[in-house]
A = this chain, B = another copy of it.
Amino acid sequence: MTNTDFFIPRLAIVGVGLIGGSLALALRQAGAVGEVIGIGRGLANLEKALELGIVDEITQDVVAGTREADVVFLATPVCKLGEVAAAIIPSLKDGAVVTDGGSVKASVIAEIEPLLRPEVSFVPGHPIAGTEQSGAEAAFASLYRNRRCILTPTARTSGEALELVQRMWQTSGSEVVVMEAEKHDRILAAISHLPHMVAYSLVNAVGSYDRYEENILEYSAGGFRDFTRIASSDPSMWRDIALTNPEALIEMMERFECFFAELKEDVRSGKGERLYEFFQRSKELRDNIL
C-alpha cells in the first residue's frame, strides 16, 4: 500500500456516485480510511452503496452525517455545492477539512469561502476523471489511477489542509497538480467545456437539418457516433458548468470560432495547401496525446 502512514479516521462523502464512490473505494483499498459515511438524497442509491461496501453508514441528513467527519468530500452537482456547504459548515467539528470535486473552481470558491469558520478549512479540488456512467454502481477503485487531480487553494487555505487533501488524492492514485482557480477554469474550458459545447452544437445543427425530410443521422457511421458521444452527457450538469464558467468558456468558444472561420475561408477559396497544413497540424497535435 502506498502512504500507509496516511489515514483519515472518518470520511463523509456527500453524493455517493461515480466520483464520490470511487474515491471511497480507492482509499479503502489503500487502507487509508477508517469509517466512511455516505450522504445523499436518493435512498436507493445509498442502500446500493452500502451493499457494495463503498460506505459503512448512510444517511439522508447532511448535517448529522458530516458532524463528526475529519474530511468531507462534496461530490454533488456544482450548483448544489454552495447549498450543502452552507448547511454543514456551522456544525462541522473543529479542524475538519472540506474539499470538493466540482468541474469549475472560481465560482465554487466565491460561494463557499464566505461561509467558512476559522476552525474549518476548504480545499477546492477537481479530479479529472469520469465516464458517461453515474450512480454508486458505476464507482470503481481505479478510476483515479494515473489521472490528474487539480487543487486550487486560495490565500485562506491552510498548508496543512492542502497537504492532507493532496495526500488523499495521491493515495487514490492521482497525480496532484496545484494551480490558481482561474487557470484551472481556463484549462478546463479549453479541454472539456469547449468540446462539449462543440459536440452539442454539432448534433443540433446536423440532427435538425431537414432539407430532405428524412432523418439524415440514419446515414451516419461509427465516426459520427464516437465523435458525438459527449453530446449525450447530462444536460443539467452542462447547464451548470456553462452558467458558472462563462468568461473562460466564451474566450475559448471565440478562439474556436476564429479557427473554424479561417478553415471555412480556405474551403471557400479552394486553398489546398493551406487546408492540408491545417489538417496536418491538427493530426500531429492529436497524435501526440495518445
Residues of A participating in the B interface, judged by any CB pair closer than 8 Å: 128-131, 147-148, 150, 183, 186-188, 190-192, 194-195, 197-209, 211-212, 216-233, 235-236, 238-239, 242-243, 246, 249-250, 252-261, 263-264, 266-268, 270, 272, 275-276, 278-283, 285-290
Point out which of A200, A268, A270, A272 has the most chain B C-beta atoms below 10 A from its C-beta.
A200
How many copies altogether?
2
Chain B residues contacting A267 (CB-CB under 8 Å) are 197, 242, 246, 249-250, 253
CB distance from A110 to the nearest CB of B (A): 15
CB distance from A243 to the nearest CB of B (A): 6
In angstroms, Cα B229 to Cα A287, docked, is: 9
In angstroms, Cα B69 to Cα A272, docked, is: 35
Q: Could you say which of B216, B249, B275, B287 contacts A187, with CB atoms under 8 Å apart?
A: B216
Q: Is the CB of A260 within 8 A of B253?
A: yes
Please provide the 4 A-B residue pairs with the shortest distance between their CB atoms, ordered closest to farther: A207-B285, A235-B279, A200-B282, A235-B280
Q: Is the CB of B282 within 8 A of A203?
A: yes
Listed by A's residue number, 12 A-B pairs whose Cβ atoms lie within 8 Å are A190-B216, A197-B260, A197-B267, A198-B260, A203-B285, A227-B230, A229-B286, A239-B279, A242-B267, A246-B267, A246-B270, A250-B267
